[in-house]
Structure 1
Amino acid sequence: MNPSERKPSGEDRNTSSQNFGDNPWRAMGLIGSVGGTFATCLGLGYWLGLKLDAARDTGYWSITGMAIGVVIAIIVAIFLIRTFTGGKAN
């Protein structure tokens, strides 16, 4: 058989690379993890802020808690992305 007439098959694929283009489930896992991280950090920051607002009879800790949650979520998302893409998370 002539090599130019050969049809591509799954055996010819380079499966050793950990590229997101080769595995859409891996990319979707990263997106889900980052989204879950943001939701959790924002929710937890808001909840803790509400508890501080109730304890101190103020009205600004919930916003401060959300801001702190965003900062923590960004830091954790950077670590997640580095881990998923094969970089060192330090």
Structure 2
Amino acid sequence: MVNSSHNDKNRDAGNGNFGDNPWRAMGLIGSVGGTIAACLGLGYWIGSKMNDGYGAIAGMAAGFVVAVIMTILLIRTFIGGKAK
């Protein structure tokens, strides 16, 4: 006899959620972390090459803004929405 509960429909990985698939969730976490690190590092590098003073800080700030936008688009793509 199979005992099904009302939460079984939430475990279906095909409904757009992460379901019980931990690999998909870990992929999202890794992608978000990599995106943030790459944007901050690239912003720091570009900012330090452009200016001797506060260029690195300004570059990291710009990189952070880009990282937030990219993370939002990445999460939308992972959960099944359209990334415009």
- Asked if Structure 1 and Structure 2 have the same fold, meaning a TM-score greater than 0.5 normalized by the shorter chain, the answer is yes
State the percentage of identical aligned residues. 64
Moved over 4 A (4+): none
1:36 alignment counterpart: 34
The answer to whether the 8 Å contact 2:12/2:19 transfers is: no
Report which stretch shifted further, 62-71 or 20-29: 20-29
2:15 is paired with a residue of what secondary structure? coil
Structure whose CA Rg is larger? 1
Q: What is the CA-CA distance between 1:27 and the residue it aligns to?
A: 0.7
1:66 pairs with 56, 60, 69, which one? 60
Mapping of residues 47-66 of structure 1, within 5 Å: 47-53=45-51, 58-66=52-60
- One-letter identity of the residue aligned with 1:72: V
Unaligned runs of 5+ in 1: none
CA distance in 1, matches of 2:35, 2:14: 29
Describe the superposition over 1:34-77 as per-residue Cα deviations: whole angstroms up to 9, x where unpaired: 10000000000000111112xxxx31010000000000000000
1:21 alignment counterpart: 19
CA RMSD between the two structures: 1.8
Unaligned runs of 5+ in 2: 5-10
2:14 is paired with a residue of what secondary structure? coil
How many correspondences in the alignment? Answer: 78
